[in-house]
Amino acid sequence: MKILVFGRIGQLGSALAEVLSDRYETRFIDQPELDLTVPESVRDHVQTYLPSIVINAAAYTAVDRAETEPELAHIINARAPESLAYACDEAGAVLIHYSTDYVFDGTASMPYTETAAVAPTGVYGQSKLAGEIAVASATQRYVILRTAWLYSAVGHNFVKTMLKLADSGQPVRVVADQVGSPTYAQDLARVTRSIIEVLNSSREDCFGLYHVTNSGTTSWHGLAQEIFRLAAHQDVVVQPISTEEYPTPAPRPAYTALDCSKLERVFGLTLPSWRDALARCIDSL
Ligand SMILES: NC(=O)c1ccc[n+]([C@@H]2O[C@H](COP(=O)([O-])OP(=O)(O)OC[C@H]3O[C@@H](n4cnc5c(N)ncnc54)[C@H](OP(=O)(O)O)[C@@H]3O)[C@@H](O)[C@H]2O)c1
């Protein structure tokens, strides 16, 4: 089975390369060969390689910058996935695509299910939601995985930022009133591989939208404390602050725990706790 993956050097793309390359015939493409700012161009890649599965791990992920580049975010996160979904449909390939907890406004007090009302508060979330809708309209044979607070040993992310700050000798101020589920890109990649195994067994009843995060929730403050504990930086003082004290161009949802029970029901898959995942990531650094 041939798998074409968009986005090789991102957090998720790198993890997918680790878990898929030894098991499947894979081709990873990234910029400049892949240019999602030209949505029509993605069709050629699918037509040339003729994969059974296409994984789109590429995206515009700069949440704050998106507020000043709404058109670019929309092209990369919505128009390009739409074009890709049409190309997959035409070629008979299944599309695996990723979305975000930021499609929710964060006002819930219980974990969001896949059918919960969406209401993104910023341009990034709006562009990713438009991508979900466009993919689902263009093909029936898709799997969209909504994930959250992604981190890994590569790329830019909260975990690596905290570890850099640890050496400053200064107290670190971290937002304590936003709650979500930190998710290790390696675990998301492994779940993707397990889903591919199911798709490979010709099951046709599992297409659709799924929530996929490491289990459990915490705040950014709680996550920072755990990072410093695991990295043996207990000396670092982590001061809790409010969202108001840390204004950002894109408003952040306060609560985005995702209910992942559909993933367990349909695929029999569950993810480890966020603490377990974080420990593995920090060990790998
Ligand atoms: N990061 C998070 O906290 C988070 C949370 C929830 C959901 N997600 C979703 O999870 C998925 C993976 O995210 P990630 O954190 O792995 O992203 P990432 O590390 O930012 O990687 C994104 C990838 O997309 C590529 N890309 C960006 N613009 C492109 C363009 N115009 N043409 C071609 N490729 C382009 C990047 O290439 P360059 O590096 O060369 O630009 C990079 O390889 C995305 O769908 C994202 O929306 C992420």
Which residue CA neighbors atom 13 of ligand 1 most closely? 12
Report the C-alpha gap between 99 and 128 in whole angstroms.
6
Q: Are residues 101 and 145 in contact, defined by beta-carbon separation less than 8 angstroms? A: no
Distances 236 to 166, 173, 231 between C-alpha atoms, Å: 6, 11, 11
Q: What is the mean pLDDT of the chain?
A: 97
Q: Which atom of ligand 1 is nearest to the CA of 12?
A: 16
Taking the centre of ligand 1 as the mean of its atom positions, its distance from the CA of residue 53, in whole angstroms, is 19
Give the mean model confidence (pLDDT) for residues 17-35: 96
Cβ–ligand 1 distance for 33 under 6 Å, the answer no
Taking the centre of ligand 1 as the mean of its atom positions, its distance from the CA of residue 235, in whole angstroms, is 33
Which residue in 124, 142, 151, 184 is the catalytic one? 124
pLDDT tier, 169 (very low <50, low <70, confident <90, very high otherwise): confident
The hierarchical CATH code for the domain 2-155+183-214+258-272 is 3.40.50.720
Q: Are residues 273 and 214 in contact, defined by beta-carbon separation less than 8 angstroms? A: yes
The pTM of the full predicted model, rounded to 2 decimals, is 0.97
pLDDT tier, 114 (very low <50, low <70, confident <90, very high otherwise): very high
Q: What is the sign, positive or negative, of the torsion defined by CA atoms of 5, 6, 8, 11?
A: negative
User: Could you report the per-residue pLDDT of 116-140, keeping only the tens digit for each?
Assistant: 999 999 999 999 999 999 999 999 9
Report the C-alpha gap between 134 and 200 in whole angstroms.
25
Q: Which atom of ligand 1 is nearest to the CA of 149?
A: 3
Report the C-alpha gap between 53 and 50 in whole angstroms.
9
Report the C-alpha gap between 155 and 186 in whole angstroms.
13
Taking the centre of ligand 1 as the mean of its atom positions, its distance from the CA of residue 55, in whole angstroms, is 12
Which residue CA neighbors atom 48 of ligand 1 most closely? 150
User: Could you report the per-residue pLDDT of 175-204, keeping only the tens digit for each?
Assistant: 999 999 999 999 999 999 999 999 998 788
pLDDT tier, 167 (very low <50, low <70, confident <90, very high otherwise): confident
Between helix 274-284 and helix 158-165 the angle, nearest 10°, is 60
Which residue's structure tokens are 């290790």?
184
62 backbone dihedrals φ, ψ, rounded to 5° = -80, 90
Taking the centre of ligand 1 as the mean of its atom positions, its distance from the CA of residue 155, in whole angstroms, is 10
Q: Are residues 148 and 110 in contact, defined by beta-carbon separation less than 8 angstroms? A: no
225 HSE (CA, 13 A, CB side) = 10
Q: Angle CA(77)–CA(268)–CA(179) in degrees, nearest 5?
A: 50
Cβ–ligand 1 distance for 10 under 6 Å, the answer yes
User: Could you report the per-residue pLDDT of 220-238, keeping only the tens digit for each?
Assistant: 999 999 999 999 998 999 9
Report the C-alpha gap between 8 and 36 in whole angstroms.
14
Provide the token pair at 3.
């798998």
Q: What is the sign, positive or negative, of the torsion defined by CA atoms of 164, 166, 168, 174?
A: positive
Give the mean model confidence (pLDDT) for residues 81-87: 98
Distances 284 to 183, 184, 279 between C-alpha atoms, Å: 15, 12, 9
Q: Which atom of ligand 1 is nearest to the CA of 14?
A: 16
Q: Has residue 18 got a pLDDT over 90?
A: yes
Q: Are residues 201 and 52 in contact, defined by beta-carbon separation less than 8 angstroms? A: no
User: Could you report the per-residue pLDDT of 247-277, keeping only the tens digit for each?
Assistant: 999 999 999 999 999 999 999 999 999 999 9
| Amino acid 204: pLDDT | 82
Q: Which residues of 42-58 are buried (b: 16+ CB within 10 A; e: fewer)?
A: bbebbeebebbbbbbbb
Cβ–ligand 1 distance for 61 under 6 Å, the answer yes
Q: Has residue 74 got a pLDDT over 90?
A: yes
pLDDT above 90 as % of the chain: 95
Annotated catalytic, 124? yes
Q: Has residue 79 got a pLDDT over 90?
A: yes
| Amino acid 168: pLDDT | 86
Provide the token pair at 184.
């290790």
- For the chain, state the CA radius of gyration: 18
Between helix 123-138 and helix 80-91 the angle, nearest 10°, is 20
Which residue's structure tokens are 């991508």?
131
Give the mean model confidence (pLDDT) for residues 79-104: 98
180 backbone dihedrals φ, ψ, rounded to 5° = -160, -165
Cβ–ligand 1 distance for 258 under 6 Å, the answer no
Taking the centre of ligand 1 as the mean of its atom positions, its distance from the CA of residue 234, in whole angstroms, is 32
